[in-house]
Every structure is written in C-alpha cells, then in structure tokens.
Amino acid sequence: MAELNWTSIIVALIVVVGLGGIAGFYFMSKSSDKTVSASGNAEMTVMPDKAIVYLLIQTRDASADVAKDDNAQISGKVLDSLQAMGIAKSDIETENYNMNPDYDWSNGTQKLIGYVVTNNIKVSSKDFTNVGKIVDSAVGAGALISYINFDLSNDKQNEYKAKVLTNASKDAKIKAEAIAAGLGKKLGSLVSVTASDYNYQPYPLYMASASGVSVKEAATNISPQQITVTGTATVVYELK
C-alpha cells in the first residue's frame, strides 16, 4: 500500500480553505454592495396613567447602629401610615438604601462625626387624587419628599413601545424605499431590523430643588401632563 504524502494533503487543504475564504469574502462584499440601510424615527404623546411619589428617609448619628435603628423606626412608621390609607404593599418599593460616614471638613481636615443612613422609597398610585394624601401621610411619619412624577405603568410602557417602534420601522422602510428609488432600484428581501432606541421621560410634577413650589401645593394641584414617547429603528434591505 502506497504511503500517504501528508505534506501534499495539508497543502491541498490550505489551498481549498483559502479559496473558500476568498470566495466567501467576495460574495459577502457583493451582497453588502447590494443592500440599503435606513433609520426611522417615531414619536407620540400619551397621557400618564400613574403618579409616583419618591420619599427620602434620612437619619444621622455619631453611632452607626443608632442611625440605622432610627432610620428603620421612621421607615416602619412611614410604611404603616401608607398601608393604613390603603396603599398596597406592591405599590411601595425600596429603591435604594445606604449607610455612609459623615465627615466635618470645616477646618480643612477630615473629621468623622458620625454616620448617615438614607432609605429611598417610591410609592405608586393610579389614582392621582391620592398624591396629596400620600405626601401628608409620609411627611407626617417623618419622611421627606424628593420628587413626584407622572409616569407610565409597565403595561402602558409595553403598549406604547410596541406602537412607537412599529411606526419607527415603517418610517425606516419609507426612507429605504426613497433611497432605492433614487438609485433606480427597488427593495428586495429584508436583511435585518434593529430597534436601536426607545425612550420616554416621566413628567416631573414636583422636585425638591424646584424654587417657589411647595410639595403640598404641587400635590394638591394635580394637572396631568402628556408624556412624549420616542422610538428609533434601523432596517437593512437587499436592493434589486
């Protein structure tokens, strides 16, 4: 039986693989030469379906344990007062909890004077008339109000996201058709579509840093404002 020439076989395989790679690159290049890409945008204004009150519970003490216990006590009172007025537990969420050292820098030196514990809680309600009651209840129990927003529930977010991205995709296709027409071509098969952006900003009803507006004034003068929802989609079509 003749001995196999492994060197010749390996060289032949390298040549075949190389030619395959060159051919693949050629066809990919030719394919990319025959595609058109376009980005579409869409925007819609919608009414919010819930209000969110963001609470801040902050305590300080020279002892970390005392600061933590004080915060837990006030937080418990706030939660009890909210549930007593009918706010469901599922509508009360702890967003952030931190304990940090508190320093005095007044003499140009760092001096530890104690600890600060902060507990950030958000309270949601689909009944806008509850906002004033939530504010009164939380403040009365020892909380501060960071800000209040008109917002969208998860169900509404999903609904509007689907609509705005659908419209963005349609806008992208119209642009792609226009580009193809300008080149004397038509759109072929859809190669890819990417939802590159979806966004909305809650409407701020009150912010603690806002000047000239008290939280009680904001909470009792509810006037829901529309929210703008935007979306962007990018499509790639073959040209024919």
Domains of the chain: 50-151+204-222 (3.30.70.2970)
Using CA atoms, how far residue 168 sits from 58, 172, 231, in Å, is 44, 6, 6
Note the pLDDT of residue 4.
52
Question: Looking at the predicted structure, is the pLDDT value of residue 200 above 90?
Answer: yes
Note the pLDDT of residue 122.
97
Note the pLDDT of residue 197.
85
Residue 29's pLDDT band (cuts 50, 70, 90): very low
Note the pLDDT of residue 24.
44
> pTM for the full model?
0.74
User: Which residues is 227 bridged to in the sheet?
Assistant: 46
pLDDT tens digit sequence for 133-175: 999 999 999 999 999 999 999 999 999 999 999 999 999 999 9
Note the pLDDT of residue 221.
75
- Distance between CA atoms of 109 and 213, rounded to whole angstroms? 37
Question: Looking at the predicted structure, is the pLDDT value of residue 26 above 90?
Answer: no
Residue 6's pLDDT band (cuts 50, 70, 90): low
Output phi, psi for 35, to 5 deg. Answer: -125, 160
Residue partners of 203: CB distance under 8 A and separation at least 6: 48, 149, 150, 151, 224, 225, 226, 227
